[in-house]
C-alpha cells in the first residue's frame, strides 16, 4: 500500500508541537488545579502531578506534570506554609503561576514559579463551610448537646496519642488536682493529626461504644499545632460520629483563634487539654461550694432555731418559777393563818390575855351545867394554878 503525503520523523513532529505550544504560551499563566501526587527530591526540586476532576468529582478530566525548581522552591515553600499554616499536600487545591514547557522526550510539563496561598486558604475554608452547612442540614449540630452529662462525672474514655504532651498534661492536671478528687480514665490511643486521624479516632469511638456503660463521657484531647495539623478535626465523617455518639463527647483541642467542626458538634469544648481538666474539676468545686453554702445556711438556721428555743425555754422557766413562787407565797400565807388560828386557840395564849381556864378532873369546862356544888375545880391563871371547891353556882338569866 502506497503512503501519500510528506513523511516526517517523530522528533520533527515533537519539535513542531513544541514550537506550537511554546509559541502560544510565551508568557507565564495562572492555573488552578488539585495536587494528586507530590514528591520532594533530595536535590531540592519538587515534583507535582496536577489534576482537574470532572464535575461529579468521580473522575479526572485533565492531568499534567509540574516542577518547582529548587531555586524557586526555597522561596515559594516557606511563604506558602507561613501564610496558609499548611505544607503542600495531596488533595490540596492550588493556584500556580507556570510556564508551559514541552519536551520532545517527556511531553508537556509546567514549570512553577509561584503559588498563591490566598487561593488555597479560600478553598480550605470553602470546603469547611460546605461541611458545616451539610451537618446543619442533617441536624447533627445539636444531637450530642442534648445528652445528659452526670452531675459529677468521674469515668472518662480518653482519645489521644499516648505520647502527646497534651495528654500527659491533662492526666497530671486531672489526677493531681489540689482538691484530691478521684477520677477514672482509660486511654484509647489514636493518631491525632494527618489523614489517618479521622479514621483512627472513629475506630477508638467504636471501641468505646462496646463498653459504653463503663464511662460517663468521652474526652478528645490534642495539644497545640498548626492549622494543617488540626485540619483533621474538620472531617465530616468524624464530626458525624461524634454528633451521634450515645454519651457526651467533650473536646480539648489546642487552638487559639477559631474552633473546629468537631468542637461545634461536641457536647462541650475548651481550648486545651488542661482547660478540659479544669472544666471537669470545676463540676466538683461548684458542687462542694453549693454543699458548703447549704451547710452554712443550715447551720445559721439551726443556730437561729436553737436560740429561739432557748428563749422559749427561758420564758417557760421564768413562768414556772413565778408560778411556784406565787404558790409558795399562797401556801405560806395559809400556814401563817393556820398558825394564827392555832395560836389564838392555845390556852396559854388565852391566859396571856387575862382569861382563866377552869378544869374539872382535867377536862376544860365551857359551861356551869357540868358543875355541881362541892366539885373540886382547878383554875389556871397565866401565872399559876388555884385549887378550889364550888360552894354555889348561879346561871346567867337569858335575855
d(CA 305, CA 199): 63
pLDDT band at residue 243 using 50, 70 and 90 as cut-offs = very high
pLDDT band at residue 290 using 50, 70 and 90 as cut-offs = confident
d(CA 159, CA 147): 19
For residue 149 the three cell numbers come to 452529662
Q: What are the beta bridge partners of residue 158?
A: 187, 219
**Pairing between β-strand 46-53 and β-strand 107-115 as defined by DSSP bridges:** unpaired
326: CB partners within 8 A, 6+ apart: none
pLDDT single digits (tens) 93-123: 899 999 888 887 888 889 999 999 888 877 7
Angle at the Cα of 396 (from 394 to 399), degrees rounded to 5?
155
Q: Packing angle between helix 273-345 and helix 165-175, nearest 10 degrees? A: 10
22: CB partners within 8 A, 6+ apart: 100, 101, 102
Residue 172's domain is classified under what CATH number?
Answer: 3.40.50.280
Q: Is the pLDDT of residue 389 over 80?
A: yes
The answer to whether residues 121 and 151 belong to one domain is: no
d(CA 339, CA 333): 10
Residue 81 domain flag: yes
Buried b (16+ CB within 10 A) or exposed e, 218-246: bbbbbbebebbbbbbbbbbebbbbbbebe
Residue 331 domain flag: no
Residue 380 domain flag: yes
Give whole-number Cα distances, 399 to 235, 328, 366, 393, 394, in Å: 139, 49, 20, 19, 15
Residue 230 domain flag: yes
d(CA 140, CA 264): 10
**The domain boundary residue, chosen from 136, 157, 190:** 136
The answer to whether residues 155 and 274 belong to one domain is: yes
Residue 37 domain flag: yes
Instruction: Provide DSSP, 251-307.
Output: EEE--SS---HHHHHSSEEESSHHHHHHHHHHHHHHHHHHHHHHHHHHHHHHHHHHH
**The domain boundary residue, chosen from 234, 265, 284:** 284
The answer to whether residues 114 and 157 belong to one domain is: no
pLDDT score of 37:
93
pLDDT score of 397:
75
pLDDT score of 368:
84
pLDDT score of 393:
83
pLDDT score of 107:
83
**Coil, helix or strand at residue 344:** helix
pLDDT single digits (tens) 181-208: 999 999 999 999 888 899 999 999 999 9
Q: What are the beta bridge partners of residue 115?
A: 96
Q: How many domains does the chain have?
A: 3
Residue 306 domain flag: no
The answer to whether residues 127 and 148 belong to one domain is: no
Give whole-number Cα distances, 12 to 2, 18, 110, 193, in Å: 22, 10, 22, 51
Q: Which residue has the higher pLDDT, 370 or 143?
A: 143
pLDDT band at residue 2 using 50, 70 and 90 as cut-offs = low
Q: Which residue has the higher pLDDT, 395 or 142?
A: 142
The answer to whether residues 105 and 162 belong to one domain is: no
The answer to whether residues 104 and 188 belong to one domain is: no
The answer to whether residues 127 and 243 belong to one domain is: no
Q: Which residue has the higher pLDDT, 9 or 288?
A: 288
Residue 271: domain span:
138-284
Q: Which residue has the higher pLDDT, 274 or 19?
A: 274
pLDDT score of 318:
86
For the chain, percent of residues with pLDDT exceeding 70 = 95
**The domain boundary residue, chosen from 101, 136, 171:** 136
d(CA 288, CA 291): 5
Q: Strand locations in the chain, DSSP E?
A: 29-40, 46-53, 60-68, 93-103, 107-115, 155-160, 184-189, 217-222, 249-253, 268-270, 357-360, 363-364, 376-381, 384-389
Q: Which residue has the higher pLDDT, 123 or 73?
A: 73
The answer to whether residues 63 and 187 belong to one domain is: no
Residue 107's domain is classified under what CATH number?
Answer: 2.40.50.140
Instruction: Provide DSSP, 150-207.
Output: PSS--EEEEEE-TT-HHHHHHHHHHHT-TT----EEEEEE---SSTTHHHHHHHHHHH
Give whole-number Cα distances, 125 to 84, 110, 120, 261, in Å: 11, 27, 9, 12
For the chain, percent of residues with pLDDT exceeding 90 = 42
The answer to whether residues 218 and 111 belong to one domain is: no
Radius of gyration of the chain (CA): 57
pLDDT score of 176:
95
The answer to whether residues 97 and 201 belong to one domain is: no
pLDDT score of 263:
93
- Residue 46 CA, distance from chain mean position: 50
The answer to whether residues 190 and 265 belong to one domain is: yes
Residue 315 domain flag: no
The answer to whether residues 277 and 162 belong to one domain is: yes
pLDDT single digits (tens) 293-321: 777 778 877 877 888 888 888 888 888 88
Residue 5 domain flag: no
Nearest Cα to Cα of residue 45 among 83, 76, 87, 79: 76
Average pLDDT over residues 364-378: 84
Amino acid at each position: 500500500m502506497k503512503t501519500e503525503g510528506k513523511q516526517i520523523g517523530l522528533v520533527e513532529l515533537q519539535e513542531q508541537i513544541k514550537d506550537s505550544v511554546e509559541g502560544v504560551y510565551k508568557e507565564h499563566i495562572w492555573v488552578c488545579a488539585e495536587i494528586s501526587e507530590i514528591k520532594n527530591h533530595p536535590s531540592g526540586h519538587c515534583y507535582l502531578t496536577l489534576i482537574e476532576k470532572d464535575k461529579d468529582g468521580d473522575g479526572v478530566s485533565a492531568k499534567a506534570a509540574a516542577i518547582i525548581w529548587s531555586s524557586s522552591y526555597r522561596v515559594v515553600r516557606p511563604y506558602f506554609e507561613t501564610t496558609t499554616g499548611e505544607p503542600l499536600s495531596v488533595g490540596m487545591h492550588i493556584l500556580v503561576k507556570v510556564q508551559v514547557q514541552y519536551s520532545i522526550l517527556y511531553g508537556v510539563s509546567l514549570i512553577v514559579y509561584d503559588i498563591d496561598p490566598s487561593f488555597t486558604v479560600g478553598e480550605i475554608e470553602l470546603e469547611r463551610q460546605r461541611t458545616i452547612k451539610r451537618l446543619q442540614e442533617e441536624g447533627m449540630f445539636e444531637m450530642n448537646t442534648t445528652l445528659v452529662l452526670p452531675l459529677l462525672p468521674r469515668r472518662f474514655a480518653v482519645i489521644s496519642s499516648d505520647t502527646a504532651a497534651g495528654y500527659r498534661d491533662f492526666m497530671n492536671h486531672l489526677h493531681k488536682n489540689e482538691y484530691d478528687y478521684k477520677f477514672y480514665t482509660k486511654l484509647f490511643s489514636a493518631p491525632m493529626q494527618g489523614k489517618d486521624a479521622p479514621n483512627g479516632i472513629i475506630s477508638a469511638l467504636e471501641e468505646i461504644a462496646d463498653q459504653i456503660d463503663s464511662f460517663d463521657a468521652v474526652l478528645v484531647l490534642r495539644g497545640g499545632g498548626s492549622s494543617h495539623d488540626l485540619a483533621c478535626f474538620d472531617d465530616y465523617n468524624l464530626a458525624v460520629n461524634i454528633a451521634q455518639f450515645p454519651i457526651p463527647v467533650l473536646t480539648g483541642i489546642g487552638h487559639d483563634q477559631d474552633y473546629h467542626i468537631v468542637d461545634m458538634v461536641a457536647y462541650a469544648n475548651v481550648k486545651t487539654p488542661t482547660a478540659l481538666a479544669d472544666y471537669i474539676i470545676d463540676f466538683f468545686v461548684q458542687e462542694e461550694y453549693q454543699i458548703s453554702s447549704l451547710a452554712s445556711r443550715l447551720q445559721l438556721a439551726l443556730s437561729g432555731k436553737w436560740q429561739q428555743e432557748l428563749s422559749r425555754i427561758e420564758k417557760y422557766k421564768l413562768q414556772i418559777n413565778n408560778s411556784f413562787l406565787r404558790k409558795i407565797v399562797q401556801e405560806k400565807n395559809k400556814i401563817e393563818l393556820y398558825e394564827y388560828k392555832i395560836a389564838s386557840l392555845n390556852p396559854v395564849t388565852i391566859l396571856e390575855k387575862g382569861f382563866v381556864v377552869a378544869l374539872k378532873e382535867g377536862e376544860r369546862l365551857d359551861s356551869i351545867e357540868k358543875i355541881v356544888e362541892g366539885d373540886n375545880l382547878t383554875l389556871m391563871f397565866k401565872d399559876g394554878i388555884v385549887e378550889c371547891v364550888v360552894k354555889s353556882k348561879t346561871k346567867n338569866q337569858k335575855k
